[in-house]
Amino acid sequence: MGDLLSQLAKHGVPVDRIDVADLSERERADAYLDAVAVSVLKKYRIRQVFGSRRLSGTSFGKQVPALIVRYLVSESPEQVYPHQKSEEYVPIATFLRAYLDQIQAKKVA
């Protein structure tokens, strides 16, 4: 996944990597709440991806890596990965590969 992020950065996509070990529990909880807000708007599930029904978000960024895609200008969250839409699990790498493919296709066209 790091290689995909590096490739995106080479194409000029701003990439910030944050180690949750450097965050306070409050900062990590705030990031998870950003992710929850996006998941509600986009109508996909993240609760059990990053935890369980009873303990939602406990693995967010710790045992389960998280990617929050933000709008460039407002920096508000736009997407969160991984997530579950219907019965399909969408991992971070799937999104990164598709995004990289889009960028490369535009450069060729």
Nearest CA to 37 out of 73, 80, 88, 75 is that of 80
| Per-residue tokens: 39 | 């998941």
pLDDT reported for residue 82: 97
Q: Is the pLDDT of residue 6 over 70?
A: yes
| Per-residue tokens: 68 | 């929050």
DSSP secondary structure of 29-89: HHHHHHHHHHHHHHT-B-TTTSS-SSSTTTTBTTTB--EEEE-TTT--EEEEESEEETTEE
In this structure, what DSSP letter does residue 21 have? G
Q: Is the pLDDT of residue 109 over 60?
A: no
What's this model's pTM, rounded to 2 decimal places?
Answer: 0.88
Chain segment 26-56, per-residue pLDDT in tens = 999 999 999 999 999 999 999 999 998 888 8
Q: Where are the domains of the chain?
A: 2-108
Q: How confident is the model at residue 5 (pLDDT cuts 50, 70, 90)?
A: very high
